[in-house]
Amino acid sequence: MKSDSRSLDERSLILVTGGSGFFGGHLTAALLAAGHAVRVADIRPPAGGTPPGAEFAACDLCEVDQVAAACAGVTHIFHLAGNPSGTRSVTDPLWDFRVNALATTNLCQAAVSASVRRMVYVSSGMVYGVPLTTPIGEDHPLTPFIPYAASKLSAEQSVLAAASTYGLDASVARPFTLYGPGEDPATSGGEVSRFLRWHLNDLPVPVTGDPDLKSRDFTHVDDAVAALRAIMDRGAAGAAYNVGTGRETTLTGLLEIIESATGRAPRAVVDAGTTDDTYRHVADIGRLRALGHRPSIGIEAGIRSMVTALGPAPQVPTLPTVFTMAGTPRAS
Ligand SMILES: NC(=O)c1ccc[n+]([C@@H]2O[C@H](COP(=O)([O-])OP(=O)(O)OC[C@H]3O[C@@H](n4cnc5c(N)ncnc54)[C@H](O)[C@@H]3O)[C@@H](O)[C@H]2O)c1
């Protein structure tokens, strides 16, 4: 019998779109470990094969029929599939809009048709644009400055429109900078993975922006997974929730933590003049805390575990460090 509960229970069939990717893979593993039934919908299968206990639905979310098939019998959806890269969105904004915004509208329609009980859309903290205040609360103005942020915001609006028009019970999650094992060095723009991959290979570490001023809310993927589950179970319909730690770490601070974890100082090559993304991007997680979520993995412990997971010579990042927009170089 299909679950009639908003929160996840033993009768739930949970669809994880993007479950073959970094964040979706960790979420799928956590849901399976908690005993839930999970269907992964992705354009490509998980790199290590479909995890035991999960179903895999090969699905391009831009294709209406494929999305409808993936949603059959589903009670809950975590929607993570799409393009996670700002850099790639600048290179190919039409593709970015298609896989982030159009695909989400498709999924909302399929979710309504399948009478899905509840959906959490994984947006991004990038929708706020350059912060006017730090930490950034959910009521901060939404001012995207790259195509990625515009497509994520458009997708959010599609979800909220489906909620008000068709009664879809949905919430939005806005993760800040995630890190953890399993990131794809070809698509990940996060500084933790990139800095570590260069440093562990004894290569210089390119740092874009003023490292004393540029700060991020580095969030371990396992904490982000716990946050998504809290939002699914207890989040309000139509509400957005920042997913972060609330802790601010400058790039200088990150380099020091990497030195402490590896026993040697990274050879940072600072290029403060070629980017204007030197701002403080830190989440106010008061709303998430009110759901009972507490981040549990400090950046020091998270980086120590990343060093172990990556090993001595991990694959180096291939995504360009800097892209140029309207004549202005920006970091990814
Ligand atoms: N990684 C971060 O730091 C971060 C931060 C904020 C938000 N997010 C969001 O989290 C989500 C997951 O990010 P990630 O880092 O795991 O990226 P990822 O690239 O590892 O995973 C994305 C997955 O989506 C799949 N996909 C792409 N287009 C598809 C399509 N048309 N149909 C079906 N599947 C498709 C890919 O095959 C991939 O497995 C994204 O929505 C991203 O915007 C990530």
End-to-end CA distance of the chain: 46
> Is the CB of 60 within 6 Å of ligand 1?
yes
Q: Could you tell me the two tokens for 180?
A: 């953890």
Q: How far is the CA of 187 from the centre of ligand 1 (A)?
A: 9
Q: How far is the CA of 62 from the centre of ligand 1 (A)?
A: 14
Beta strands in 167-258 (DSSP E): 170-175, 178-179, 205-208, 215-216, 219-220, 240-243, 249-250
> Is the CB of 61 within 6 Å of ligand 1?
yes
Pocket test for ligand 1, best of 27, 39, 43, 156 (most atoms within 8 A of CB): 43
Q: How far is the CA of 52 from the centre of ligand 1 (A)?
A: 21
**What's the CA gap between 39 and 17, in Å, rounded?**
8
pLDDT in the model for residue 272: 82
* Residue 320 confidence (pLDDT) above 80: no
> Is the CB of 110 within 6 Å of ligand 1?
no
Q: Residue 79, SS3?
A: strand
**What's the CA gap between 103 and 119, in Å, rounded?**
14
Q: How far is the CA of 331 from the centre of ligand 1 (A)?
A: 19
Q: What value does the mean pLDDT of the chain take?
A: 94
* Residue 328 confidence (pLDDT) above 60: no
CATH number of 12-178+219-243: 3.40.50.720
Residue type at position 305: S
* Residue 331 confidence (pLDDT) above 90: no
What residues does CATH 3.90.25.10 cover in the chain? 180-217+246-321
- What CATH superfamily classification does 180-217+246-321 receive? UDP-galactose 4-epimerase, domain 1 (3.90.25.10)
Residue bearing the CA closest to ligand 1, atom 21: 21
- Measure Cα distances from 56 to 26, 59, 80, 154, 295 in Å: 15, 9, 15, 27, 30
> Is the CB of 151 within 6 Å of ligand 1?
no
- Given the DSSP bridges, would you call strands 215-216 and 249-250 parallel, antiparallel or unpaired? antiparallel
Dump pLDDT digits (tens) for 92-105: 999 999 999 999 99
In the predicted model, what is the mean pLDDT of residues 320-325? 56
Q: Which pLDDT band, with edges at 50, 70 and 90, does 329 fall under? A: very low
Diameter of the chain measured on Cα atoms: 60
Dump pLDDT digits (tens) for 213-228: 999 999 999 999 999 9
* Residue 25 confidence (pLDDT) above 50: yes
What residues does CATH 3.40.50.720 cover in the chain? 12-178+219-243
Q: Which pLDDT band, with edges at 50, 70 and 90, does 330 fall under? A: low
Q: Which of 6-20, 41-55, 113-127, 271-285 has the lowest mean pLDDT?
A: 271-285
**Kind and range of the H or E run holding 193:** helix 191-200
